[in-house]
Structure 1
Amino acid sequence: MRFMVMVKADTQSEAGLPPSAELVTAMAKFNEELVNAGVLLAAEGLKPSSTGVRVRLAGESRTVVDGPFAETKELLAGFWLIDVKSMDDAIAWIKRVPCEPGGEGDVEIRPVFEAADFAPEMTEERRAAERLLRDRVAAQQR
């Protein structure tokens, strides 16, 4: 099962301040453990919301709002995409995420939809088309 693991932003990440050298080292070690276990699909940090935009979709209308965004607790600072057997396995991994000494924060884990979750709407033709798109994405990343 795939899980999106979302690291919530805090005042430091929203200020664009880098983590300590110790945390960068610990995070690199943790990511290497994920890779060595064969469960890491992607992992990235995100720049502060002041560098981003939100696009509001309302019917045919599209409105662009520049960051920064006020509610830091609702923003993301980074993510992992992992592939493990269960939510319990995802939790076990994420309990090992390093953080600054005395630091605190929230990490949210959510299952990713799989094609089977959309049955019967996901016909064999749609499944084949989805596989082709995923193959194309993988080829582009090489």
Structure 2
Amino acid sequence: MKYMLIMRSTDEGQAAFASISFDEMLETMGRFNDELIRAGVLLAAEGLDDAAQGVVVDLSSDVPVVTDGPYGETKELFGGYYILDVASQEEAVEWAKRLPYSGPGTKVEVRRVPSIDEFPQDNEWIRKERAWREATGQV
């Protein structure tokens, strides 16, 4: 089963993380990523750029509104993710507990990623997606 580990932190957590040198961060995260690779569970992992460099597309009105970051009223920022192929939610949680750089204001949300096989296979759009995935080698 696939699980996404969503790394989130508050402003306090971001501030603590900012004091770590980039080389040290790469070394620490690299070691953790290597553990995931050696265990055969890592499918994808990416960090995200500073939220101040992003934009928000608000779809709550008829005409979408785009605003520059940093985001207002945000309690926690999504900083990156891992996608793991593990046997259970419990195993995904165990990997989440081992993520480096824990501390105040740092959380990891663990969510299952349903497979295409769990959707109605007679649906036209599911058939089209399956064909696309097969054509691009993603199944």
TM-score range, shorter chain: 0.7 to 0.9
Q: Percent identity?
A: 39
Structure 1 Cα separation of the partners of residues 118 and 53 of structure 2: 35
Matched ranges for 1:71-90 at <5 A: 71-90=73-92
**Which residue of structure 2 lines up, in the alignment, with residue 41 of structure 1?**
43
Runs of 5+ consecutive residues of structure 1 not aligned to the other structure? none
Quote the RMSD (CA, aligned, Å): 2.8
**Which residue of structure 1 lines up, in the alignment, with residue 6 of structure 2?**
6
**Which residue of structure 2 lines up, in the alignment, with residue 110 of structure 1?**
111
Please, which moves more after superposition, 35-44 or 129-138?
A: 129-138
Distance of aligned partners of 1:135 and 1:118 in 2 relative to their CA distance in 1, 3 Å threshold: closer
Distance of aligned partners of 1:8 and 1:71 in 2 relative to their CA distance in 1, 3 Å threshold: farther
Structure 2 Cα separation of the partners of residues 9 and 17 of structure 1: 12
Distance of aligned partners of 1:52 and 1:34 in 2 relative to their CA distance in 1, 3 Å threshold: same
Please, which moves more after superposition, 88-97 or 4-13?
A: 4-13
TM-score (norm 1): 0.76
Matched ranges for 1:14-93 at <5 A: 17=18, 19-20=20-21, 21-58=23-60, 60-93=62-95
The Cα of 1:60 is off from its aligned counterpart by 4.3
- Please state whether the residue corresponding to 1:68 is helix, strand or coil: coil
**Which residue of structure 1 lines up, in the alignment, with residue 129 of structure 2?**
130
CA deviation map 1:70-106 (0-9, x unaligned): 3453311111111111101101111111226xx3311
- Please state whether the residue corresponding to 1:58 is helix, strand or coil: coil
Distance of aligned partners of 1:136 and 1:70 in 2 relative to their CA distance in 1, 3 Å threshold: farther
The count of aligned residue pairs is 135
Structure 1 Cα separation of the partners of residues 16 and 65 of structure 2: 25
The Cα of 1:128 is off from its aligned counterpart by 4.0
The Cα of 1:40 is off from its aligned counterpart by 0.9
